[in-house]
């Protein structure tokens, strides 16, 4: 009688055609996948009291995977962020706020599995390790990109071929454990804090046309819980929940057998502006990735 592990291996090694899109790409068995690039980010916000915030900067994401077989891959990843915001409070002097550093170091798994030879099941798991404590300095207006929290993210989705299209959807949820931070202000100097909350749910629908350019379009909804910062049981900072709607488009040029070039752009807007006392809260992204297979 075969063991459960043997049955799983046989299932995951079965040679069925898998339907993949830009969101669900995985390397073949015994193949390395390296994907990296950069994107420019612009944020534009205005508030009910006429205060404004404009920010711009860049992200540098990188992931590396190894295909255990044609269905399962393991790897790691990170994202480096640098963002400068021009803050103009109503009736007060303006100032610049800087957020910089690595957001997290991620241990990753992703896989594609055939379902009844008609659609493909995609699964993804991420264990995120903070590279440093969350740092907030309201005197110098400098903040870490890291939230100081260990995170666990699970993603599941389906992709199906429909004529010349590949249509699919993804659901993901990130759960954050309590983390550590430091907080500096007029009242506190490098105060040790505890960081909690910030759990994130994402729902995404997408479609892709299979041709020389592989155009891909998606619409997604994100809801993020408020992040709380406490010291000695006292709340130092209490953030706000955010609900976000975004659209994204990309192309995937297959430059060579082992190289894809993926330019993309995205637009996001906050839906619950009234909770933030804002009348406008939008973000724009434009960037490109290179995907190497070897």
The pLDDT value given to residue 170: 98
pLDDT at 13 (0 to 100): 45
Residue where the block lists tokens 């933030």? 276
Residue 60, CA atoms < 13 Å, CB-side half-sphere: 5
pLDDT of res. 17: 77
**Considering only CA atoms, which of 102, 106, 109, 108 is closest in space to residue 60?**
102
Q: What is the pTM of this model?
A: 0.90
d(CA 106, CA 75): 8
State the pLDDT at residue 116. Answer: 85
pLDDT at 16: 57
Residue with the two structure tokens 């870490």? 144
Nearest-angstrom CA–CA distance, 58 and 285:
9
Q: How far is CA 138 from the centre of its chain?
A: 26
Quick one: pLDDT at residue 14?
Answer: 46
Q: State the 10-residue block means of pLDDT for the chain, 294 residues long.
A: 44 64 96 98 96 98 98 98 97 96 98 92 98 95 96 98 95 97 90 95 97 96 95 83 97 95 98 92 98 97
For position 159, what pLDDT does the model report?
Answer: 98
Task: Identify the pLDDT of residue 9.
Answer: 43
Name the phi and psi angles at 27, rounded to 5. Answer: -75, 160
């Amino acid at each position: 009688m075969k063991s459960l592990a043997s049955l799983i291996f046989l299932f995951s090694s079965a040679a069925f055609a898998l339907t993949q899109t830009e969101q669900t790409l995985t390397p073949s068995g015994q193949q390395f996948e390296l994907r990296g690039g950069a994107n420019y980010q612009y944020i534009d916000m205005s508030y009910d009291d006429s205060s404004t915030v404009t920010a711009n900067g860049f992200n540098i994401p990188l992931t590396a995977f190894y295909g255990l077989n044609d269905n399962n891959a393991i790897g790691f990843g990170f994202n480096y962020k640098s963002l400068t915001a021009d803050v103009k409070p109503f009736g007060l002097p303006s100032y610049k706020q800087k957020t910089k550093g690595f957001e997290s170091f991620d241990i990753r798994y992703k896989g594609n599995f055939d379902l009844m030879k008609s659609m493909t099941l995609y699964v993804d798991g991420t264990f995120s390790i903070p590279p440093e404590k969350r740092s907030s300095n309201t005197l110098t207006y400098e903040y870490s990109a890291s939230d100081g929290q260990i995170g666990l993210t699970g993603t599941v989705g389906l992709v199906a071929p429909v004529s010349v299209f590949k249509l699919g959807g993804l659901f993901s949820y990130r759960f954050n454990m309590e983390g550590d931070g430091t907080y500096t202000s007029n009242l506190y100097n490098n105060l040790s804090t505890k960081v909690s909350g910030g759990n994130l749910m994402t729902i995404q629908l997408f479609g892709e046309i299979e041709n020389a350019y592989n155009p891909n379009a998606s619409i997604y909804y994100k809801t993020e819980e408020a992040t709380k910062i406490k010291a000695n049981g006292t709340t130092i900072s209490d953030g706000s929940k955010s609900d976000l709607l975004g659209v994204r488009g990309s192309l995937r040029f297959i430059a060579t057998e082992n190289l894809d070039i993926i330019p993309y752009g995205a637009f996001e807007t906050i839906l619950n502006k009234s909770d933030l006392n804002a009348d406008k809260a939008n973000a724009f992204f434009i960037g490109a990735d290179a995907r190497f297979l070897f």
